Amino acid sequence: MRFEHLVDEASCAVCELSPRSALTAAHRPQKESPVTAPTTENADQSTETAAPAFDTLGLDHRVLAAVEKMGYKTPSDIQAETIPLLTEGRDVVGLAQTGTGKTAAFALPALTHMARSADAGELGSTPQTLVLAPTRELAIQVAEAFSTYAQQIPEISVLPIYGGSPYGPQLHGLRKGANVVVGTPGRVIDHMAKGSLDLSGIKHLVLDEADEMLRMGFAEEVDRILAETPKQKQVALFSATMPSAIRRISAQYLNNPAEVSVKTKTSTGDNIRQRFVQVKHSVKLEALTRIMETEPHDAAIVFVRTRSATEEVATRLTQQGLRASAINGDIPQNLREKTVENLREGRIDVLVATDVAARGLDVERISHVYNYDIPMDTESYVHRIGRTGRAGRSGEAVLFVTPRENRMLKNIERATRQKVEKMTMPSIEQVNQARLGRFSERISRTLAEEGSEGQKLGQYRDLIEEFIGKHDAGHPGADPLQVAAALVAMVHEGRPLLLEDKGEDQLVRESQRDFSKDDRGGRDAGGRGGRERAPRQAGAGNAMYKIQVGRKDGVNPGHIVGAIANEAGMSSREIGTIDIRPSFSLVELPEKLSREQWDALGKTQIGGRAIRIERDNGAPGGGGFRAGDRGKRGGGYGGGKPHNKGGGFKKKSFDGDR
């Protein structure tokens, strides 16, 4: 098995990953667990028969070996229903939420078919399986899952292709031959147009999160790709909902599909208090440190999405005096076990972890779970907060919610049938009181230990007396209090002990806002139809930008979200209000964009036309500064002329993920 992972950074290269190797830190989305959460029940299960084992579903023995190696014994509901159908060659429409194990539901049967093709010498070097995913994060996640399940089949290679990444490594991977291609719609069409992606040999086609794909404006791309693939193929369509557009695709492109629907209900322990705090993405780290400094806890887990985030957050917490360690999928198993043991024994108090790394974690002293990054599905949320409240104890779960994630909070409340209590951000005064309290406690504790460590303190006392004795009266060195203060400053290495109070506390003010009013009507209901709003005022930390495509060009919010999010490497949640006007559009984005983001946006096109992004100054004609020529007007990168002047629309389809 070979997995080609393309890293879209300056040092971009094609990495050959062995089954045990890991994705680059910046691109490690968490894998779905192929088994359902233990707290998840099948709501429409009519019988109480035991779930089948994987070895009864008709899978190839090499695929089974990989599944068993990962420690999975029982398939989830969606897997038990769909794997036999797909293994038999049926087309399938699967209705299931993210987090129910649907990736394995379509990956395992496809690999079984390809393993048998490899045995017959019919595998070839052109793609046999094509998976379409709405975002590059999901494309990477699905490709990694395929590579893991194919680890016992060395003939099969896997390649993700997605927007926002250079073409060179992807072209190289396609020329070498990829049996499984996982891609975003716009980039797949780009490679089709270049002649670098041959779809003539496709036998298995998967539409993953099809409703999300259509929400992002990729309907035309999906139609075009499906039309270019052979008529004789197996199609699996997975979606959380079944809007009319999905039914149309099913009727047009699927052959007598079996429809599988898995509904789940989740429950959380009554002994776990659930709270959420409102915070902008740019200040989440500061918010987390404030809460952890003022919230009394025994031990805690902080859940984040990526490996790099575990290290960043753990480092920040350590700098604030908290005993924290990171744990993620890249850490060797023996080190992971040692870190968990340190948490269990009280040598560390905070574990910053990804979902995958914390799987199966059971430490009784965990009093708090912090959802620093909101989970993508309710099952993951239940899994996470279940790490606290063990052995009959009470537990605390705190969820960080940005303005763009308000709907996800509502989904969690609806699915768990429990209200999540709103909490207020601790003030600067509260943080300083907590710090002073801990400082006093440390001094008292050290003095109390003089009985066991009297010799050590005695040595220090002799040194201080000698130092003071060398200085004349009036010199700072002769004042014991000044010397003690200097020692404290040395311990803190120049970092201030207390937060500086500069007047209005922005974090507290933001946490008290009603984020439900910020549900950004520009992408109402997920961007369908694009209800327009005209506010020019961006939220705190954001700014309004103008792009040169509008209603007359046929764009909708999904096209804009797809183009900006994937090209500039942003999360779609960082994109606020979208106001589409006749000849241009206004988009709310973070106020401070990086050099790389400005460069990428300066080259971004929608429908073949450069968006020519610039900061909006509120005047009728827009204005401000444009991406491409940096730093001439302050406020980040901007000023000058755009990278190019663009042109007319040469085609109707929109390359929203390029």
What pLDDT does 16 receive? 27
In sequence order, what DSSP letters do the residues of 15-47 get, joined into one string?
A: EEE-TT----GGG-PPPPPSS--TTEEETT---
Cα torsion 432, 438, 442, 443 to 10°: value is 50
- How does pLDDT run across 190-238, given as a tens digit for each residue? 999 999 999 999 999 999 989 888 877 788 899 999 999 999 999 999 9
Domains in the chain, CATH or no CATH each: 2-265 (3.40.50.300), 267-427 (3.40.50.300), 430-491 (no CATH), 520-658 (no CATH)
Residues in contact with 591: Cβ distance below 8 Å, sequence separation at least 6, in sequence order: 538, 541, 542, 543, 635, 636
- Given 3-state DSSP classes, what are the helix, strand and coil percentages for the chain, each rounded to the nearest 5? 40, 15, 45
Residues in contact with 501: Cβ distance below 8 Å, sequence separation at least 6, in sequence order: 428, 429, 432
Tell me the mean pLDDT in the region 100-128: 91
pLDDT confidence tier of residue 526, bands split at 50, 70 and 90: very low
Burial 45-62 (b: 16+ CB within 10 A, else e): eeeeeebeebeebebbeb
Average pLDDT, the chain: 77
Three-state secondary structure along 468-500? HHCCCCCCHHHCHHHHHHHHHHHHCCCCCCCCC
> What angle (nearest 5°) sits at the alpha carbon of residue 294, between those of residues 291 and 296?
105
Instruction: Copy the structure tokens of residue 225.
Output: 């790709």
Tell me the mean pLDDT in the region 157-184: 90
pLDDT of 484 > 80? The answer is yes
Strands (E), 593-653: 605-606, 609-610, 614-615
pLDDT of 38 > 70? The answer is no
pLDDT of 503 > 80? The answer is no
Burial 456-465 (b: 16+ CB within 10 A, else e): eeeeeeeeee
Cβ atoms of 641 and 630 within 8 Å: the answer is no
Give me the amino acid identity at 207: L
Cβ atoms of 367 and 299 within 8 Å: the answer is yes
- How does pLDDT run across 429-470, given as a tens digit for each residue? 888 888 888 888 888 888 877 655 555 777 888 888 889 888
Dist. CA 240–CA 211, nearest whole Å: 7
Tell me the mean pLDDT in the region 583-588: 89
Higher pLDDT, 13 or 65: 65
What sign results for the dihedral spanned by CA atoms 55, 57, 62, 66? negative
In sequence order, what DSSP letters do the residues of 368-431 get, joined into one string?
A: EEEESS--SSHHHHHHHHTTSSGGG--EEEEEEE-GGGHHHHHHHHHHHT-PPEE-PPPPHHHH
Quick one: which H or E segment has residue 95? strand 92-95
Dist. CA 563–CA 489, nearest whole Å: 49
Instruction: Copy the structure tokens of residue 653.
Output: 């389809």
pLDDT of 564 > 60? The answer is yes
- How does pLDDT run across 117-153, given as a tens digit for each residue? 999 998 888 899 999 998 776 888 899 889 989 999 9
What pLDDT does 46 receive? 34
How much of the chain, in percent, has pLDDT values that exceed 70? 76
Instruction: Name the nearest CA neighbour of 625 among 557, 566, 545, 548.
Output: 545
What pLDDT does 540 receive? 60
Quick one: which H or E segment has residue 447? helix 428-448
pLDDT of 48 > 70? The answer is no
Name which of 20-34, 224-238, 337-351, 562-576 the model is least confident about: 20-34
> Tokens 């700014």 map to which residue?
543
How many H-runs (helices) and E-runs (strands) does the chain carry? 21, 24
How much of the chain, in percent, has pLDDT values that exceed 90? 29
Name which of 23-27, 193-197, 305-309 the model is least confident about: 23-27
Higher pLDDT, 274 or 503: 274
pLDDT of 75 > 50? The answer is yes
Contacts for 229-232: CB closer than 8 Å, 24+ residues apart? 229/130, 229/199, 229/202, 229/205, 230/199, 230/200, 230/201, 230/202, 230/203
Dist. CA 280–CA 637, nearest whole Å: 21
Give me the amino acid identity at 363: V
pLDDT confidence tier of residue 651, bands split at 50, 70 and 90: very low
What pLDDT does 515 receive? 56
What pLDDT does 208 receive? 92
Quick one: which H or E segment has residue 602? helix 595-602
Higher pLDDT, 135 or 589: 589
Tell me the mean pLDDT in the region 158-163: 91
Q: Taking the CA atoms of the chain, what radius of gyration do you get in angstroms?
A: 28
Tell me the mean pLDDT in the region 332-336: 82
